[in-house]
């Protein structure tokens, strides 16, 4: 397998090392620094000529820095004659900007897709993309893996009997259905309305949560506002104060932990797509997605079908 090489950006060295361990390889040697004015400076310390290169970098906060670093690595690989560049972006920042909400607004996800292609990236691999239609912003192949089976494995023995899966908004219904099928239970849907970037409210619950423990699922936890409002609505509707949360991406923006300190929360399961600073949070369970990404890399290297992964 020496004809491919895996480089890691600075977003999440722990995940990159875990993937390399799974593949039984060493990460490619490279440096990423900042000039005093904040500009990104990267350098590859080994040849990539005619090699298949995998660049791993979540575009997590600080999103713009991580994105530019990824672009710089890709540009370096292209100029150094890499045969093929695959960007593994476990968390794809700007994905929530997938449409215009009013006039004179950008579609940032589409803009990101264009710059990724412009620097010579040949394929993108990501995980639980916020909106599947983002794939359509690219002309290159995009593979969106899912953490649902991995999280369900971790959750299976930790959930109370009779748990109901809760989608916190209509955008997550498909994901909630996948959880419910894998966990052999039913799903309910909350109707969420976004009042601002940080404020949401739940206007309706479709389904019965009376005296049921709940598993609220989501693709990401950012400020924690969506979950806090969901818990409030579920408890008001008579749900048991026995709540578990599962989300693929745990951003936990400052203040999220305080919002999620509700006594009814038993555990919060996230994957390691984003490096967490919350090491002393007892309820937080981080499940590694490294085995899945490592398998995907092996599949690409040997031209297998990703369908076999799920």
Q: Which residues are catalytic?
A: 192
> What is the C-alpha separation between 276 and 257, in angstroms, rounded?
12
CB of 307 to ligand R5P, least distance (A): 25
Q: Which is nearer to ligand R5P, 128 or 272 (CB)?
A: 128
Q: Does 128 bind ligand R5P (CB under 6 A)?
A: no
> What is the C-alpha separation between 108 and 93, in angstroms, rounded?
9
Query: Cis omega before residue 62 (within 30°)?
Result: yes
Q: Which is nearer to ligand R5P, 149 or 171 (CB)?
A: 171
Closest CA relative to residue 51, chosen from 8, 79, 85, 74: 85
User: Pattern 98-117, binding to ligand R5P, x per CB under 6 A?
Assistant: --------------------
Cβ neighbour number for residue 10 with a 10 Å cutoff: 17
Q: Which is nearer to ligand R5P, 143 or 218 (CB)?
A: 218
User: Pattern 168-207, binding to ligand R5P, x per CB under 6 A?
Assistant: xx-xx-----------------------------------
Segment contacting ligand R5P by CB under 6 A, of 12-20, 41-49, 82-90, 212-220: 212-220
CB of 226 to ligand R5P, least distance (A): 3
CB of 219 to ligand R5P, least distance (A): 5
Do residues 71 and 115 lie in contact, with contact meaning Cβ atoms separated by under 8 Å?
yes
Closest CA relative to residue 306, chosen from 86, 113, 101, 102: 86
DSSP per-residue letters across 130-199: SSGGGGGG-SS-EEEE--HHHHHHHHGGGSPTT-EEEESSGGGHHHHHHHHHHHTS-EEEEEEEESSSS-
> What is the C-alpha separation between 41 and 73, in angstroms, rounded?
9
Segment contacting ligand R5P by CB under 6 A, of 11-19, 145-153, 166-174, 236-244: 166-174
> What is the C-alpha separation between 89 and 92, in angstroms, rounded?
6
Q: Does 61 bind ligand R5P (CB under 6 A)?
A: no
CB of 195 to ligand R5P, least distance (A): 11
Q: Which is nearer to ligand R5P, 169 or 272 (CB)?
A: 169
Q: Which is nearer to ligand R5P, 255 or 291 (CB)?
A: 255
At CA 129, angle to CA 295 and CA 117, rounded to 5? 85
Residue 33 three-state SS = strand
Q: How far is CA 11 from CA 14, 15, 30, 46, in A?
A: 9, 9, 14, 21
- Taking CB under 6 A as the criterion, the residue among 12, 59, 178, 222 binding ligand R5P is 222
CB of 168 to ligand R5P, least distance (A): 5
Q: How many residues does the chain have?
A: 310
Q: Which is nearer to ligand R5P, 28 or 93 (CB)?
A: 93
- Taking CB under 6 A as the criterion, the residue among 57, 97, 126, 226 binding ligand R5P is 226
CB of 99 to ligand R5P, least distance (A): 12
Name the site residues for ligand R5P (rule: CB under 6 A): 96, 168-169, 171-172, 218-226
């Amino acid at each position: 397998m020496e004809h491919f090489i895996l480089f890691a950006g600075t977003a999440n060295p722990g995940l990159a090392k875990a993937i390399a361990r799974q593949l039984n390889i060493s990460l490619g040697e490279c440096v990423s620094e900042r000039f005093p004015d904040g500009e990104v400076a990267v350098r590859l310390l080994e040849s990539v000529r005619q090699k298949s290169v995998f660049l791993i970098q979540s575009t997590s906060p600080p999103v713009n820095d991580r994105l530019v670093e990824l672009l710089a690595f890709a540009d370096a690989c292209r100029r150094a004659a890499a045969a093929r560049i695959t960007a593994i972006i476990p968390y794809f920042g700007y994905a929530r900007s997938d449409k215009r909400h009013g006039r004179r607004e950008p579609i940032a996800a589409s803009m990101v897709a264009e710059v990724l292609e412009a620097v010579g990236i040949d394929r993108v691999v990501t995980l639980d993309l916020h909106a599947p239609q983002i794939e359509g912003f690219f002309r290159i192949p995009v593979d969106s893996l899912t953490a649902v089976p991995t999280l369900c494995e971790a959750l299976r023995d930790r959930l109370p009997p009779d748990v109901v899966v809760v989608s916190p908004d209509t955008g997550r219904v498909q994901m909630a259905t996948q959880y419910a099928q894998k966990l052999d239970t039913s799903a309910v849907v909350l109707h969420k309305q976004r009042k601002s970037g940080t404020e949401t409210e739940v206007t309706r619950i479709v389904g019965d949560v009376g005296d049921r423990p709940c598993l609220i699922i989501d693709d990401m936890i950012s400020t924690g506002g969506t979950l806090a409002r969901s818990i409030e609505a579920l408890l008001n509707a008579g749900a048991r104060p026995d709540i578990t949360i599962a989300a693929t991406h745990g951003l936990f923006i400052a203040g999220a932990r305080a919002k999620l300190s509700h006594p009814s929360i038993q555990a919060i399961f996230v994957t390691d797509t984003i490096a967490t600073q919350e090491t002393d949070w007892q309820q937080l369970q981080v499940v590694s997605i490294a085995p899945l990404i490592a398998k995907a890399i092996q599949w690409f290297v040997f031209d297998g079908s990703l369908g076999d992964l799920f």
